[in-house]
Structure 1
């Protein structure tokens, strides 16, 4: 090969000393693990709906921007609403109560607006009130915000999403208000240490 190694060669005598790294693993109880896996399953079921909601809302706003008068906007919205209703209503009705609660949070994460405010802005305050009242019968609050820095369940949801994006199980779509996961993890680590 044209190479001759001698005892004076630096490759043979130099070593690199790396600092010792201690990896802490928090053991989860069997019940906690079961609850986390259940939450993970619910997030995997509901996230695609939230992602599609954000995409459709963006295209709806783009389409509404093309119209100048209210009548045309209202007609366009009705067409889109009927299409979405036909496409998703049957599947959304099959979601469990807990999946519905998670979906409301994920819609806020993806759109930056609560489900209640979306209905209020797109339809009317009265429709939003009726929708929220109906949802409350199923223990779902349409005004619920996604707050991963304050609410533990939201932090766990964000953890599941990040893992799902990294593994390729979920198709990534940036949140309306991007979340720095490293800061989020550090924040929760500090809370756990207190």
Structure 2
């Protein structure tokens, strides 16, 4: 059975180049206190805590926050490097050179990230796959398929099911409650400069989504 690091590493390996900058600071696990007023390009005003239905939901939120802050930097890096790789691929004259280039990128990225990815839990891997969709607009499955081969994507996806993961997972905070809480965590972390802002690959109206789920919690 393939180790989970191989299929998560394949995601990053397909569209990640060797990072030149030190990402240690971006991977910190500390949880900072909430602030009351946040200034962004679009101004959001957050309370000291989001509103929870019960204590169990609050505890789940705190755990989810830890996981999101752990894996978001990987998703951001994936989107950054995907853009760079696509630009490079456009300059290569034939498929042979493109395949050689993507293989080299994958090998370099796996060498760079394998030790870090081994430390990710299954729950963190699930969130990483969702955030890759948020930052690139494509599922991890489609990215692997488009940049390497359909057979490779099929194998990675079916291996992932052994760990209760799917590389076809998408990110939909309007319809999926966990995704809404992930978005809430990201927006709060961006506002406190705990995570580096990167715009999602598709429009996300946080205010509308937050209003929907706030009203839903009152029902």
TM-score by length of 1: 0.83
Match runs of 1:129-168 below 5 Å: 129-168=154-193
Paired residues of 2:160 and 2:167 also in contact (CA < 8 A): yes
Gapped runs of 5+ residues in structure 1? 1-22
Task: Tell me the equivalent position of 2:93.
Answer: 68
Q: Which has the higher contact order (CA 8 A, sep 6+)?
A: 2
Task: Tell me the equivalent position of 1:181.
Answer: 206
Residues 1:113 and 2:131 are matched in the alignment: no
Paired residues of 2:69 and 2:195 also in contact (CA < 8 A): yes
Structure 2 Cα separation of the partners of residues 154 and 26 of structure 1: 16
Task: Tell me the equivalent position of 1:32.
Answer: 57
What are the Cα deviations for residues 58-111 of structure 1, in whole angstroms up to 9, with x where unaligned? 101011011121111111111211111111122112200000000000000000
Structure 2 Cα separation of the partners of residues 192 and 28 of structure 1: 7
Paired residues of 2:78 and 2:132 also in contact (CA < 8 A): yes
Structure 2 Cα separation of the partners of residues 73 and 125 of structure 1: 16
Aligned residues: 171
Task: Tell me the equivalent position of 2:75.
Answer: 50
Give the superposition deviation at 1:124. Answer: 0.8
Q: 2:121 aligns with which of 96, 101, 111?
A: 96
Give the superposition deviation at 1:30. Answer: 2.8
Q: 1:123 aligns with which of 148, 151, 167?
A: 148
Structure 2 Cα separation of the partners of residues 174 and 87 of structure 1: 25
Q: 1:86 aligns with which of 107, 111, 125?
A: 111
Give the superposition deviation at 1:47. Answer: 0.2
Secondary structure at the aligned position of 1:142 is classed as: coil
What are the Cα deviations for residues 142-166 of structure 1, in whole angstroms up to 9, with x where unaligned? 1010000000000000000000000
Secondary structure at the aligned position of 2:199 is classed as: coil
Give the superposition deviation at 1:193. Answer: 4.1
Q: 2:84 aligns with which of 36, 56, 59?
A: 59
Q: 1:169 aligns with which of 194, 202, 211?
A: 194
Higher radius of gyration, 1 or 2: 1
Structure 1 Cα separation of the partners of residues 96 and 52 of structure 2: 59
Gapped runs of 5+ residues in structure 2? 1-46
RMSD over aligned Cα, in angstroms? Answer: 1.5
